Amino acid sequence: MSTKITNEEKEHFKSIEEIECKYLEKFYYFLKYTEDEMIFGFNTKENIREDWIEKYKTGISNFSVGAERIIYSLFNGKGIGQPNSSPVGSDLFFETKDAFVHIDLKTVQTRNMGDFTSSIFVGRNQNSYTGKIVVRGKKARKYEASLPYFYNNAKENQKICLTYFITILYEEENLKILNINIICMPNGSLYPMYGKKVLQAGKNPDKTRFRFSEIPNFELLNNKKRIKVVYFDESNLSSDQKRRMHFFEKIYNSQK
């Protein structure tokens, strides 16, 4: 733990991790249950490949747009919660009986695997983890997230803010899906426990990355991971790619 915390605080933090874990596992099993439909949906682009492939190569289109349609349609079709129209939040933002849930999709090409294997870019509107970012050789800087720890804080209808990222690694040339994960970023009120391990400096001063490789586990829950590997196509990874994907491979094999 980053700082010494009291037993009362520890119990409070544990209750937050329990609800984070509850929804992580719910979403993971939902994605596993719909894996066939998800992969089928990703492959529907092949039916009209000649109509879009040239535009994609010139940068007019983007793989993530199509992938988002598939993922979000599955979640919306499930009716997990009430979608919320707040202009501040992730692309998928809904309310359940005990939480407000943000889910965002991140897609990365294999040539940019460095942006996938240990940390991912996160926007201010996608997380509640206000804290300090350690910048090599410089003084740590303050980072202000836009989401609250709790919605309707201190009111009768207070509910926790939860943040999840679905990450997809794909091959640039043939758009083959190689890896799909769902990751839970800690609620900002857990900063006294996780501290500066969560955040990493982005390419610009106002940008940040979620350094999930530094906190793969729920700190107060036994044998519970903050990362769940939904899909891992080892057969289509080169030896170098597989080496770089060892972090996810280890988690994937532990789930079997």
Report the percentage of the chain scoring pLDDT > 70: 96
Q: Is residue 207 part of a domain?
A: no
Q: Is residue 37 part of a domain?
A: yes
Helices (H) and strands (E) in the chain, counts: 7, 12
Q: Is residue 128 part of a domain?
A: no
Per-residue pLDDT, 256: 78
Q: Can you read off the two tokens belonging to residue 176?
A: 């083959």
* Matching residue, tokens 């044998």: 223
Q: Is residue 26 part of a domain?
A: yes
Q: Is residue 200 part of a domain?
A: no
Expressed as residue numbers, the domain containing 75 is 7-116+148-191+217-255
Amino acid sitting at position 38:
M
Q: Is residue 62 part of a domain?
A: yes
Residue 42 CB neighbour total at 10 angstroms: 22
SS3 state at 247: helix
The yes-or-no verdict on residue 104 having pLDDT over 60 is yes
Average pLDDT over residues 57-72: 82
129 touches 185 (CB < 8 A): yes
Q: Is residue 174 part of a domain?
A: yes
User: Domain total for the chain?
Assistant: 1
Per-residue pLDDT, 11: 96
The yes-or-no verdict on residue 56 having pLDDT over 90 is no
CATH number of the domain that residue 49 is part of: 3.40.600.20
Question: What pTM value is reported for the model?
Answer: 0.94
231 touches 248 (CB < 8 A): no
Q: Is residue 131 part of a domain?
A: no
